[in-house]
Amino acid sequence: MSRGRLGAYLRYQLGDYFLHRAAIPLVLVLFVAGLPLWGTLRGHPDFFSNPRAHEFAMQLYTGAVALFLPVGAFLGGVGIISADRHQGHFRFLFSKPIGVLRYYVQAYAVHGLTFVVLFGAITWTFGHLTVHVSVHRAMEAAALTFVLVGGLGFLVGTLTRLDGGLVVLAYVVAMALQPIVSESAGEVPAWVRLLAQVMPPAQALDHVRQRLYASETVDPAEMWRVLGYGGGAFLLGLFTLRKLPLAR
């Protein structure tokens, strides 16, 4: 299989990402953050020149603009494999001699890189209109989010077409249990503590993102936990993709 033949699918993968995956989080950010920002600037064009407006700007950024991260990572990471299998697209995609593994690695990379660049562009636009926000730190937060959510989605998608629901369930359970376990001193049952440990490190990711937004030092242990879990899930997904047939 030539690189050119695989590269010919790049346009299709980019189109699929923008049309079916990026549109929803972009519209969400536009309404949730764009409308309040437009109303503020329309009534007070010099509002953000006041140093006291910095706190408001960062609250708007972390509370509204950053919604793009969990929603965008979820839509970009799930369904990469399961949608093709469920809808029968794999019969068309692989009617020519194209490596299945390389095709889906490329799809994962295209979704992830485009997701990171998009959030960098959103952050730059927001900072240009309000106060300075570190673009490279925002892109680091986006990359970590996609590694975790996208890696988990990739793995579950190799196993079942219910990857979307299962990833959401795992993330919600993790967000609910991990703060409880971390704040308790041996007061929770052992099975709850174990369940919180095997769930995706959602709390660690949240801590790292908040520190990146605030331009503070990131805890290396939390960062590597996120990277290790998401990267491990992706590698395990590659293994199962190689071993299990697409048509099942």
161-200 pLDDT, tens digit per residue, is 888 999 999 999 999 999 999 888 667 888 899 999 999 9
pLDDT tops 70 at residue 148? yes
Q: 248 pLDDT band (50/70/90 cuts)?
A: low
Contact between residue 113 and residue 17 where contact means Cβ atoms under 8 Å apart? no
Place of tokens 């929770």: 188
Contact 221, 205 (CB under 8 A): no
Predicted pLDDT at 203:
96
Provide the greatest CA pair distance for the chain. Answer: 60
Give whole-number Cα distances, 188 to 98, 163, 180, 192, 230, in Å.
50, 29, 8, 7, 26
- Give yes or no for residue 4 having a pLDDT over 80: no
Q: Are 204 and 226 in contact (CB under 8 A)?
A: yes
Name the pLDDT band for 88 (thresholds 50, 70, 90): low
